[in-house]
Structure 1
C-alpha cells in the first residue's frame, strides 16, 4: 500500500511539473533587449518599440537574456 501511494504521488508530482515548465518565451526584438518574458503581455514588455517575438527558452538563454524582474 505504501509503495503504491508513493508511486502515485511521484507520478502526480512529475506530471504537474511538466505542466508548469515553460518552453517558449517572449523577447523585445531590439538591440537593447536584455530580458525574456513568460507572458506576451508582461509589464516588462510594455516599453518595447520593436516587434515582440516568441522564441524557445533555450534560444533566449543562448542569447544571454535573463528572466524579467516582474516575473521571477
Structure 2
C-alpha cells in the first residue's frame, strides 16, 4: 500500500511540473502586420505580400499582436 501511495505521489508531481506546449500560430512578416493566425490558410493571411512565418502564441502576444478578426469570429461561434 505504501508503494502505491509513493508511486501516485511521484506521478502527480511529474504531471504538475510538465511544461505545456504553446500553440503554433502564423504571422505575416510585414512590418505593418498586427495580427496572428491559427491556420496557415486563414483568409486574413491572403493579403500578405511578404513571407508567412510560424511562431508561438506566447511569443507573438509579447510583441503586441492580436488574434485575427476572422478567426476570432470562428471561436465565438463554437
Would the TM-score normalized by the shorter structure come out above 0.5?
A: yes
In the alignment of these two chains, the number of paired residues is 52
Structural RMSD (CA): 1.4
In the other structure, the counterpart of 2:38 is: 38
By how many angstroms is 1:22 displaced?
A: 6.5
Larger Rg: 2
CA contact (8 A) 2:35 2:65 kept: yes
The TM-score with structure 2 as length reference comes to 0.64
- Long gaps (5+) in structure 1: 1-20
4+ aligned runs moved over 2 Å, structure 1: none
For 2:17, the equivalent position in structure 1 comes to none
Question: TM-score normalised to the size of structure 1?
Answer: 0.69
